[in-house]
Amino acid sequence: MFKFIHAADIHLDSPLRGLEQYDGAPIQEIRDAARKALGNLVDLAIEQKVAFVLIAGDLYDGDWRDYNTGLCFVGQVRRLREAGIPVYLISGNHDAANRMTRTLRMPENVTFFSADAAETALLPELDVAIHGQSFATAAVYDDLSEGYPVATPGCFNVGVLHTCASGREGHDRYAPCSIEGLKTKGYDYWALGHVHNREILSREPLIAFSGNIQGRHIRETGPKGCLLVTVNDDQSLQADFRALDVLRWDVARIDVSKSQGVDDVLDLVSTEIESCHGKAAGRLVALRVELNGETTAHRDLHSRKQHWTNQIRSVAIDIGKGDVWIEKVKLRTSSPTTKSAPGNIPDDAIGELVALFEQAQADTSRLKELEFDFADVVKKLPAELKTLASPDDPEWLREILAEAKPLLLSRLAGSETEE
């Protein structure tokens, strides 16, 4: 029996996106998250006395800003060398051969598979054969797995591949392949990288994405880590997920429709923050708060959004004792509809307005076609809000449109509650 670790998409020193600084936010701890997660991976390997570690691409996030990124990795694999643990890895689209100009001499326990063709590394003491090929360029659209050799007879065979498989939402279609195609190689295990969500594609043989070891933004929520694979004497496999992340991204979607005012909303937020903090089991939490539903607090929330955002941050700092960082507050609320609404706006006009919102959210360039200029709007914002405005960012525009739509429609319908 022996064990090995399958990890991928470490993206060492990748800049975490969406970092908005405010007093009490654990900014430096957040910036060091990927390095600490890598340290946790090495700790796990040593603790479990694994036979080897596999990294299925995207160790780095492109060329280093300075040599400290490479030195950090060298320092960690040196710890593995001292424990007698070899490391086998391939380059993916983010750290492809043509994207990396800086290099450092690696300890002798590190094996990088070539980008020229698939290679095989043999571990005779374990009767293990590891097959892999790196990306030569940042965009590889060929099925690299076709060039992998068939299984080495008499060995436990592992394939290491950076791929989108048959395609996954949010990931470029790099090195596409099929499950059936992978099975034809006769390998016992396929260690896949590129897709940041953990996923088992096949049980026999075991084909898996380990996911990334540390979430980098709000679209990478939940536990992140590696797969600890146990190979029994009969070559049966058991793959167990082990969390490595030190920063947990989460979204708190809160229904505020039963709230009677902003104080009630804050109570609901407080309860949800406590829950998210508890689930993180002592980790830092980067939390997005989304408020949803019809509520009488709607007008106050929207008219003083920055004020209530800071109130929520204050609640988070108090509950988390500095370990909960509010990434963003999203308002998805509307005012309660009333039967006495004047309804002076024709239905077809409302329908046209809704259609324009939907078109603009689907394609923000539609705003330019409508000759809408955000520059004049941004000029009128208070100084503390101007830095938050990003009119050239499609995602920011979609968020603003999503917040503006219910507010505008409720006012047009005459359904705003007077205070």
Tens-place pLDDT, residues 320-368: 888 898 988 999 888 886 443 444 556 667 677 777 877 877 887 777 7
pLDDT in tens, 4-53: 999 999 998 887 665 556 666 667 777 789 999 999 999 999 999 999 99
Number of helices (H), then strands (E), belonging to the chain: the values are: 12, 15
pLDDT digits (tens, 9 = 90+) for 90-119: 999 988 867 766 778 899 999 999 999 999
Please say if the pLDDT value at position 88 is more than 90: yes
Lowest mean pLDDT among 9-13, 276-280, 337-341, 406-410: 337-341
- For 225-265, write each residue's pLDDT tens digit: 999 999 999 889 999 999 999 999 999 999 999 898 999 99
Q: What is the mean pLDDT of residues 204-231?
A: 95
**Dihedral (Cα; 339, 341, 346, 347), 10-degree rounding:** -40
Name the more confident of 47 and 138.
47
Place of tokens 């980008």: 115
CB neighbours of 297 closer than 8 A, spacing ≥ 6? 256, 259, 261, 262, 264, 265, 333
Task: Supply the pTM of this predicted model.
Answer: 0.81
Class of domain 2-243: alpha beta
**Average of per-residue pLDDT across 390-418:** 65
Q: Which pLDDT belongs to residue 128?
A: 97
Residues 6+ apart with CB under 8 A from 376: none
285 against 371, higher pLDDT: 285
The answer to whether 345 touches 413, Cβ cutoff 8 Å, is yes
User: How does residue 418 score in pLDDT terms, banded at 50, 70 and 90?
Assistant: very low
Residue 245 carries which DSSP code? -
Outline where DSSP puts E strands in 137-283: 156-162, 189-193, 199-202, 206-209, 225-231, 237-243, 247-255
Alpha carbons 227 and 237: distance in angstroms, whole number: 12
DSSP structure string for 78-104 = HHHHHTT--EEEE--STT-TTT-----
Q: Where are the domains of the chain?
A: 2-243, 248-412
Distance between CA atoms of 156 and 128, rounded to whole angstroms? 5
Decide which of 27 and 57 is more confident: 57
